[in-house]
Amino acid sequence: MLRSTSLLGLASILLGATAQNVTILHNTLTAHGVSAVYPTDSNYSTVTQAYNRRFTVSPMAVAFPTNVQQVAAAVMAGTAQNMPVVARSGGHSYIANGLGGTNSALVVDLSKMKAITVRASNNTALIETGNRLGDVALALNAKGRAIPHGTCSYVGIGGHSGYGGFGFTSRAWGLTLDTIKSATVVLANGTIASASSTVNPDLFWAIRGASPSFGIVTSIEVQTFAAPTSAIVFQYGWDSLDVTTASNAISSLQTFAASNIPAEFGAELVFSAGPSSSHVTVGLTGAFYGPASNFNTTIAPYLKTLPKPSWSTITPGSYINSVSVLASPDSLNTSIKADSTDTFYTKSLMTPEGSPMSAAAIKAFVTYMAVQGFSSNTAWFVEVELYGGSNSAISAVPLDSTAFAKRDTLFTIQMYASSDNSKPPYPAAGFTFLDGMASSITSNSPSNWSYGAYLNYADDRLANASTLYYGSHYPRLKSIKAAVDPLDTFRFPIGV
């Protein structure tokens, strides 16, 4: 009985401390003009709903600053109470890190910071990190410019550029983070710091590959590219391929990528459950940003290795039309409708260009998708994204020039499985299914195979995460972290 009384007393103390923390936080943020949502507010559950509804996270508060000074005030308010502080820029973290990943963080939501300025003098753009990809594409295109980024228009530019940022222009232009020339970063002590190759160069290195662990990036200056004069979006589909034929789709893409394909060619293979066991549905999606007259001769050698598609759609047009087609059914203007949610688990695997997937690994992988995938109680897909190959701008960047750790990547494979209705609860078998899918590749590859994982497809259950995500850069990242965030204010699962 004494033990129960003690536990009740402890619970009362903890609840009282939490209430006190919220009160102090509220008073501090209010004094600096920062609006925020707290657990007692009627809209708290809406504001704190994770994109991945597998997670239910309860932050201490969600602050909505409107400028960098208010971001600094919010960070200092959290630091003063040793709260975890996290940025939310778009809110699409696969493991709810934009809400802290675990309870009681202070979330600094950047959605009210959406300025975009395109500078004609040097073709750079200053982008606040509350913007989403669709809105960035529209603003830059209005000035005849563009940057590499993903196809999902609702993804936030802050997180996207902080960990990578892959799209179908990336083989020509690099990752989104490769375009960053400078950034404004709020550090844990409230300092508003500039970061570039000449100012705070260690910080600048770290934020291009691991930014959420080091501060809150409030704006990035990016080098833009001239929007291509023509663009062709291509989509080919095979409704049912057996294991041998589907395996050949991957192995042939490895061979094709090593041939002299132009940098303007971007593509991915997409796998999903087939109509019967031992079969898969396969799609080839991508875009070609070179001269339209060169498209057929570019893709023909690869298509010749595959059966005739069940269907195909070729959509020529302007650059911004290609961005719109790839984002469909979502609009590029993200103010048109509310963001969606899903309930899912994901894994990723980045295959080394110097040691492509073996025939055994490819066959085991495709067999797993064709057999276990047919009987899975999830709605799943797999994307095999072409990062490398001849003329790729991603692999042309020296490994140690940014914190992004996997420049030698040929494919980034995203394995994604939702609950059957996209709503909670998530089936336990979904974890086993994807874990086995990833293992089908690694267990049939050399023991020293230098593969990695992609942080924008974050996996909270990944073993050896620091090595797979940060690679050889992890020791330097830890050193910089100790210098700029000694109290580990910016902390969340799988961060530095």
Which pLDDT does position 18 carry in this prediction?
66
CA-wise closest residue to 72 among 103, 12, 14, 29? 29
pLDDT grade, residue 76 (50/70/90)? Answer: very high
- Split at pLDDT 50, 70, 90, the class of 21 is confident
How confident is the model over 151-191, as pLDDT tens digits? 999 999 999 999 999 999 999 999 999 999 999 999 999 99
pLDDT digits (tens, 9 = 90+) for 206-242: 999 999 999 999 999 999 999 999 999 999 999 999 9
* Pairing status of strand 61-64 against strand 106-109: parallel
pTM for this predicted structure: 0.95
d(CA 9, CA 3): 10
User: What pLDDT score was predicted for residue 64?
Assistant: 98
Q: What is the pLDDT of residues 310-342, one digit of tens each?
A: 999 999 999 999 999 999 999 999 999 989 999
Q: What DSSP letter does each residue of 118-169 carry, written as one string? A: EETTTTEEEEETT-BHHHHHHHHHTTTEE----S-TTSBHHHHHHH----TT
CA distance 27 to 33: 10
The pLDDT of 59-80, averaged and rounded, is 97
CB 120 within 8 A of CB 92: no
CA dist 221 and 205 (Å) reads: 14
The answer on pLDDT for 418 being more than 70 is yes
Rounded average pLDDT over 246-274: 98
Please give the share of the chain, as a percent, with pLDDT higher than 70.
96
Q: Please give the pLDDT value at position 13.
A: 40
Residue pLDDT, tens place only, 349-365: 999 999 999 999 999 99
DSSP E strands in 176-230: the ranges are 180-186, 192-196, 216-223, 225-226
